[in-house]
Structure formats: C-alpha cells, structure tokens
Amino acid sequence: MRIVPARLRVFARREDGAAAVEFGIVLFPFVAILLMTMETALVFFAQQNLETVAADSSRLIMTGQAKNFSEADFKKAVCDRVVALFDCADTTKMFVDVQTAETFSAISTAVQTDSSGNPQTSFNPGATGKISVVRLIYKWPIVSPLTQPYLADTKTGTTRLLVATSAFRNEPF
C-alpha cells in the first residue's frame, strides 16, 4: 500500500512536462481569440469594401447613366464592381435598394426586413435634381460559433447584414 503514494509523490515532483501542460492550457483560448479577431477584421474589411462599391455604383444614378436601367441592370452594374469577397450570383445574399427622399433629413437609416429576415427593397432612382438613396445590403455569413453571438444580427443568428448607403442629389441630366 505504501508503494502507490510514494510513486504519486515522485510523479508530482517531476517538472519535465510543465511547459507542455501550460502551453496546452493556454493554446485553446489563444487560438479562439486569434480566430475571433481575424473574423471580426474580415467583417470590417468587407463592410468597407461594400461602402466603396456603393459609392462607385451610385455615381451611375447621380450622373444619369442609369436612367434607363432596370433593377436587374443596376444590380449587374453593382456586381461588376464587386471583388472576390462577395457572392453576387447568390440572389439570397446581395440586395439593392434605391429610393428617393424629399429631404436629406427624411432619409430612413433602418433596413426593413420581411418575416424570413430578407431586406425589403425597391428601385426608384429618381429624376434630375431629386435626392436619391442607394443602399447595398449583403448577408455576410458568420462562420465561427464563438463570434456569432457578438457579430450576427439576423434572425438565424449566423449572418450579419452589411449595409452601405450613399445619399446624393442627382445632377442635371
């Protein structure tokens, strides 16, 4: 009976694998925080990219180049400006909303969604001298379950609505 406690005491005194055990304890939280940081940075990068696409594509409406465009034509023009981050081919992810407003202060910043969580959109580019609002909405997937409670903002809890808005007065065309 005395042999078992003596062997346990010898095992408890050994320090050969202490660094490996400490590394194993710290490894999971470190990798989790690293992946959460990378996914958060990717969401912010995608948001900035969408803002740039909104500014570039809204210029088509502001200058009158899109006066004969349909909603599908304008969405194609938007998708032509999108780089590799966004999946424009999937119609359940990218949404284009173009409206007019009487004044700049009357512009609504809220995104209206239907019962399934998809944004409600319309296409009304406005005429010469009218205030137009172009809103690009993209359902960005949040991959990591660790970041979903913090970044996801849709009913499913696995996507975030990235919204880029450009408001301007149409030039004379």
Scan for tokens 């998708």, then name that residue.
79
Helix, strand, coil in percent for the chain, rounding step 5? 45, 20, 40
Cα(83)–Cα(89) distance, integer angstroms:
12
Where are the alpha helices (H) located in the chain, listed in sequence order?
Answer: 3-13, 18-62, 71-81, 148-151
At position 58, the amino acid (one-letter code) is S
What are the boundaries of each domain within the chain? Answer: 14-169
Distances in whole angstroms, Cα of residue 26 to Cα of each of 16, 44, 96: 18, 27, 45
pLDDT reported for residue 10: 65
Burial class (CB in 10 A: 0-12, 13-18, 19+), 86: buried
Q: Is the Cβ–Cβ distance between 66 and 168 less than 8 Å?
A: no
Q: Is the Cβ–Cβ distance between 118 and 95 less than 8 Å?
A: yes
Distances in whole angstroms, Cα of residue 56 to Cα of each of 31, 47, 61, 116, 139: 37, 14, 10, 30, 20
pLDDT reported for residue 122: 92
pLDDT reported for residue 1: 52
Cα(32)–Cα(50) distance, integer angstroms:
27
pLDDT reported for residue 42: 96
Print pLDDT tens along the chain (173 aa). Answer: 556 676 666 666 666 777 888 888 999 999 999 999 999 999 999 999 999 999 999 999 999 999 899 999 999 999 999 988 899 888 899 999 999 999 999 998 888 888 877 899 999 998 899 999 999 999 999 999 989 999 998 778 899 999 999 999 999 98
Return the closest-CA partner of residue 131 out of 83, 164, 167, 161. 167
pLDDT digits (tens, 9 = 90+) for 139-173: 999 999 989 999 998 778 899 999 999 999 999 98
List beta partners, residue 125: none
pLDDT reported for residue 18: 75
